[in-house]
């Protein structure tokens, strides 16, 4: 399993509260949690795989879930502990949890770090109760591969067919699969072609605000079927 360097984890933790990319991802997670609530499912036990700084774990907690943050690295686990979160350190390919014990699994930007991503996907299915949901996000399109991917420990980027096959083979039923960060894809592609390392950097306030405005507007645009920078997927374990 490819790891994220400790410096990158600390950088992420410092950035995620204000950076446009992480803020919008939390907003999208919150939207899906509201959708789950509207379906009649009450908040229960949840697992945030690859929690890093714990931003998504805190969103789960704010919406009434009982989340556990799971981290592979000691540095990531320590950051989450420092933020007052319930943390376990473990490998996503062998989750230390009973089968059918969770009501929700969130795996945002974790599968691309794992050589045996099929094992991790199978573990997500195993720990979910029948009818429970999985929310998954991954970077997409190997044409966007760059030094950034290498710096943050990626082993692949996905296409729609590959992600769909992975999840279905693991035993989940896919409810929705869509592209995210579509509008800013040309900017991301331009920057990645010139990158020499991770692009997790602090931004000037005006730049951060501008990018935040653009990515927020994407929620209301009919672009989910177009190529983006990430893929997002909602699935459930069949009852």
pLDDT (0 to 100) of residue 14? 74
How far is the C-alpha of 133 from the C-alpha of 29, rounded, in Å?
Answer: 12
Q: Give the pLDDT score at 193.
A: 80
List, for residues 138-163, the tens digit of each pLDDT value. Answer: 999 999 999 889 888 899 999 999 99
- Round to whole Å and give the CA distance between 3 and 72: 8
Q: pLDDT in tens for each of the 239 residues of the chain?
A: 544 555 666 777 778 888 999 999 999 999 999 999 999 999 999 999 999 889 999 999 999 999 999 998 888 888 888 889 999 999 999 999 999 999 999 999 999 999 999 999 999 999 999 999 999 999 999 999 998 898 888 999 999 999 999 999 999 999 999 999 999 999 989 888 877 666 667 789 999 999 999 999 999 999 999 999 999 999 999 98
85 by DSSP, 3-state: which? Answer: coil
Q: Which residues contact 104 (CB under 8 A, 6 or more apart)?
A: 36, 44, 45, 46, 47, 60, 65, 128, 132, 133, 134, 135
- What pLDDT is attached to residue 120? 98
Taking phi first (over 0 means left), then psi (-120 to 50 degrees means alpha), and beta for anything else, what does residue 102 get?
beta
The pLDDT value recorded for residue 78 is 86
Amino acid 48: pLDDT:
98
pLDDT number for residue 194? 79
The pTM score is: 0.92
Determine the pLDDT at residue 192: 82
pLDDT recorded at residue 53: 81
**Residues in CB range of 49: below 8 A, 6 or more apart:** 70, 92, 95, 105, 106, 107, 110, 120, 124
pLDDT of residue 175: 97
Q: Does domain 6-236 have CATH number 3.30.1490.110?
A: no
Taking the C-alpha atoms of residue 42 and residue 224, their distance in angstroms, rounded to an integer, is 28
pLDDT score at 177: 98
Spans of all domains in the chain = 6-236
What the block records as the tokens of 131 is: 């009818």
39 CB-near residues (< 8 Å, 6+ apart)? none
Structure tokens at 233: 């997927």
> What is the pLDDT, as a whole number, of residue 82?
87
């Amino acid at each position: 399993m490819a790891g994220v360097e400790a410096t990158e984890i600390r950088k992420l933790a410092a950035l995620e509260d204000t950076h446009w990319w992480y803020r919008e991802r939390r907003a999208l997670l919150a939207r899906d949690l509201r959708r789950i609530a509207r379906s009649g499912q009450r908040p229960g036990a949840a697992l945030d795989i690859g929690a890093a700084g714990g931003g998504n774990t805190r969103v789960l907690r704010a919406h009434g879930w009982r989340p556990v943050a799971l981290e592979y690295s000691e540095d990531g686990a320590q950051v989450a502990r420092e933020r007052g979160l319930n943390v376990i350190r473990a490998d996503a390919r062998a989750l230390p949890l009973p089968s059918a014990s969770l009501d929700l699994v969130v795996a945002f930007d974790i599968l691309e770090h794992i050589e045996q991503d099929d094992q991790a996907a199978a573990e997500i299915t195993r720990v979910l109760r029948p009818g429970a949901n999985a929310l998954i996000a991954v970077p997409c399109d190997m044409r966007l591969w760059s030094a950034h991917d290498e710096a943050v420990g990626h082993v692949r980027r996905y296409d729609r067919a590959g992600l769909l096959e992975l999840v279905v083979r693991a035993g989940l039923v896919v409810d929705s699969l869509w592209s995210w960060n579509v509008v800013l894809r040309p900017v991301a592609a331009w920057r990645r072609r010139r990158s020499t390392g991770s692009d997790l950097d602090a931004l000037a306030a005006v730049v951060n605000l501008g990018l935040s405005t653009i990515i927020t507007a994407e929620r209301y645009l009919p672009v989910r079927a177009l190529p983006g920078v990430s893929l997002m997927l909602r699935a459930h374990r069949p009852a």
